[in-house]
Amino acid sequence: MSFDIPDDLNYLESHEWTTVDDETVRVGISDFAQDELGDVVFVELPDVGDSVEQGSAFGVVESIKAVSDLYAPVSGEITGVNEALFDQPELLNEDPFGEGWLIEISPSDNAEFDDLRSAEEYREQIA
């Protein structure tokens, strides 16, 4: 099976993706991750204004069979939360890079992007 891995995103080893931007980044989980989880039934996310640290858990995603923590790709303040997921968690399965996005972060340290994996590196990881 082949998974969608957009080239313009950065990735964490734990399968989260992030856009790359100075102002605001959008974060989600990869196509591979949603496939591994199976039917997503519940998402727990932080509130706008909360702060997160790179590599620490900011929320939880549950499928019928599994509970997984979600890890922040970069540190910063939460500026957006995809509340549509509370009623339609299946968006994570249907459109993990689009309507299934999780949170938006205003990054506090742009140097942190250097710690993330490129699409190419992530492709090798899940190969």
Partner 1 sequence: MARRQPPLAEVHAADGASVTEFGSWEMPVEFDSIRTEHAAVRKAVGIFDVSHMGEIEVSGPDATALMGRLTTNDIEVLSPGEAQYACVTREDGVILDDTVVYRLPDRDGQSAYLFIPNAGHDTQLEEWWVEHREKWGLTATVDNTTTEWAMFAVQGPESPEIVAAVADESVTELGRFEHTTAEIAGVGCRIARTGYTGEDGFEILCPTDVAEEVWTAFDCQPCGLGARDTLRTEMGFLLSGQDFDPEAEPRTPYEAGVGFVVDLDTEFVGRDALVDQKETGTEQTFVGVTMLDRGVPRGGYPLVDEEGEAIGTLTSGTMSPTLNEGIGLGYLNVEYATPGESVDIVVRGSEKRAEITELPFVSK
Residues in contact with partner 1 by CB under 8 A are: 1, 38-39, 41-42, 44, 60, 62, 64-65, 67, 86
Cβ distance to partner 1 smaller for residue 7 or 87: 87
* Rounded least distance, CB 113 to partner 1, Å: 30
The rounded distance, in Å, linking the Cα atoms of 119 and 57 is 22
* Rounded least distance, CB 50 to partner 1, Å: 15
Q: Tokens at residue 33, please?
A: 């991750």
Cβ distance to partner 1 smaller for residue 21 or 62: 62
Q: How many C-beta atoms surround the C-beta of residue 115 within 10 A?
A: 12
* Rounded least distance, CB 59 to partner 1, Å: 11
Report the C-alpha dihedral over residues 25, 41, 60, 110, rounded to 10 degrees: -10
* Rounded least distance, CB 24 to partner 1, Å: 27
Q: How many C-beta atoms surround the C-beta of residue 99 within 10 A?
A: 14
Cβ distance to partner 1 smaller for residue 8 or 87: 87
The rounded distance, in Å, linking the Cα atoms of 100 and 27 is 10
